[in-house]
Amino acid sequence: MNTEVKETTTNIRDKRNNDVLLEVRNLKTYYPIKGGIFRKTVAVVKAVDDISFEIKKGETLGLVGESGCGKSTAGRTILRLLDATDGQIIFDGEDITNIRGVSLRKVRKDFQMVFQDPYASLNPMMMVGDLISEPIRNFTNRSSKDLKPEVMELLTKVGLPEDAYYKYPHEFSGGQRQRIGIARALALRPKLIIADEPVSALDVSVQSQVLNLLKELQDEFDLTFLFIAHDLSVVKHMSNRIGVMYLGGLVEVAEKSSLYAEPLHPYTQALISAIPEPDPRKKKERIILEGDVPSPIDPPKGCTFHPRCAHAMPECQQVKPTLKEVKPGHRVACHLYN
């Protein structure tokens, strides 16, 4: 098993396109459900089921999908906050899927996360200055005091006043806390930032401020983003490319313009038709999906979307479609395009 992994890694290194920062291959994350007296695994939740994609340096890949489709789990698995059941995560040419302990802690400084809930993601007992300098202190021997000028600079960069240094998280609003979270993620100058629904807990006016801040910082620090969200307009604003997830699988990946202009997968079509139109006179045809999302414990056979799909064919119930490049840079997992 181990030698196999090594071989594929070297293979990838040879073939690797130099500007690919993150490559995810056939990633699977299953949560076991334990039951009975002996805590045996009675079922698994297939939260992330066989997804593959890559992110180039400096680009933003948006990951959309409804609640429970596995996009957050995917993000956390890539950052090794959860263990992958199967598949490979190749970050900057290094397979990080199975590293552990100290070596894992060492690579953590290259990828950081901005969390969803700004009220839960900051330790309430720590001063903001300490919160922001903590990542740097974890990797160097420098003290809080020593790092103060850098922290002040970061605070200014994310648009917070310098006196925020001495305050505690409970003294800030949601948007300000999210800025603290961003400053903390930036402190180590990471290559990749995974933003897990960074604005979904904020109100709309603050959302745009935080999103613009993220874009500015991306230019300034040369960041690569994996941007996870359920809001299509937010993803459109942020991303270069977009991946659409449904029930743990990636159903479509394309350039932003191509995806919004011509969505190929029936699910993506339904999603995009649901974006509210600001012009009330403009008539728009909405595709309304029937039924609910099936349980990820027992996903439908074949294409997971077939029970709700208007174009379902007999083949869809039997064979699971794989992502195929239909147009240049536009990949879709659907039998309609075979």
Residues within the interface to another protein (CB under 8 A) = 76, 79, 81, 105-106, 108-109, 112-113, 115-117, 120-127, 134-135, 138-139, 159-161, 163-164, 166-168, 170-172, 175-176, 181, 184, 187-188, 209, 212-213
Smaller CB separation from another protein, 55 or 187? 187
Smaller CB separation from another protein, 12 or 188? 188
Smallest separation, CB 11 to another protein (Å): 29
Smallest separation, CB 77 to another protein (Å): 12
DSSP H helix total and E strand total for the chain: 11, 12
Residue 154: name the closest of 121, 120, 189 by CA.
Answer: 189
Smaller CB separation from another protein, 21 or 251? 21
Name the burial class of residue 234, with classes exposed (0-12), middle (13-18) and buried (19+) by CB atoms within 10 angstroms of its CB. Answer: buried
Smaller CB separation from another protein, 112 or 224? 112
Smallest separation, CB 137 to another protein (Å): 9
- Size (the chain), residues: 338
- How many Cβ atoms from other residues are within 10 Å of residue 280's Cβ? 6
Smaller CB separation from another protein, 114 or 253? 114
Smallest separation, CB 237 to another protein (Å): 14
Smallest separation, CB 314 to another protein (Å): 44
What sign does the CA torsion over 107, 112, 117, 118 have?
positive
Smallest separation, CB 324 to another protein (Å): 34
Smallest separation, CB 213 to another protein (Å): 7
Smaller CB separation from another protein, 147 or 232? 147
Eight-class DSSP state of 132: H
- How many Cβ atoms from other residues are within 10 Å of residue 32's Cβ? 13
**DSSP string of 160-227, one letter each residue:** --GGGGG--GGGS-HHHHHHHHHHHHHTT--SEEEEESTTTTS-HHHHHHHHHHHHHHHHHHT-EEEE
Eight-class DSSP state of 90: E
d(CA 70, CA 79): 14
Contact of 208 with 127, CB cutoff 8 Å: no
Smaller CB separation from another protein, 27 or 201? 201
Residue ranges of alpha helices (H) inside the chain are 2-15, 71-78, 101-107, 128-139, 144-157, 174-186, 204-221, 232-238, 256-261, 266-273, 314-318
Contact of 88 with 106, CB cutoff 8 Å: no
Smaller CB separation from another protein, 180 or 333? 180
Smallest separation, CB 81 to another protein (Å): 6
Smallest separation, CB 52 to another protein (Å): 23
Smaller CB separation from another protein, 101 or 280? 101
Residue 110: name the closest of 195, 192, 227 by CA.
Answer: 192
